[in-house]
Amino acid sequence: MQKLMHVDLSRPNSEGIKLAIETVSCGFPSPAVDYFSGETLNLHDLLIQRPTATFFARAEGDSMFPLIRTGDLLIIDRSVTVKNNSVVLAEVDGGHVVKHYRVLEHGIFLCPENADYEPTRVTQDVVICGVVTSVVHSFR
């Protein structure tokens, strides 16, 4: 991942998008699918908790597959406290990587989702840039 994106995170001028029903079945169809809850959903409010600390990055590579795929939009918050198992954006050896932050018995590591890749030990040279709070994945 090489490019970080700057996006204006000021609250958009929209009323939101109508929310159909609270949940949608991923198994057998529900007869409630034709009904709207009357509630609207604003994606900005849902995905951006702290605009001044939030930025976007576009994912590239397969080390976090299938959790994160090439082209996914990552929403990263610099103000979120890193916890064990957080997905983080980190600066390692002059480049940026997205990995699980894992506290293990023998140290702290940046671990890939994909078992084809090796974990990286977190040293004093590794900088945690933020926590990935959401991933936007498009089917197109």
Active site residue 99: yes
Q: Where do we find the tokens 């974990």?
A: 119
Q: Is 134 exposed, middle or buried (0-12, 13-18, 19+ CB in 10 A)?
A: middle
Q: What gap in Å lies between CA 70 and CA 88, rounded to an integer?
A: 16
- Token output for 93: 């050896």
Residue 133: CB atoms within 10 Å: 17
Q: Are 118 and 67 in contact (CB under 8 A)?
A: no
Active site residue 10: no
Catalytic residue among 10, 18, 83, 99: 99
Q: Which residues lie closer than 8 Å to 27 by C-beta, 6 or more apart? A: none
Catalytic residue among 14, 30, 37, 63: 63
Q: Are 127 and 90 in contact (CB under 8 A)?
A: yes
Residues annotated as catalytic (active site), given as ranges:
63, 99
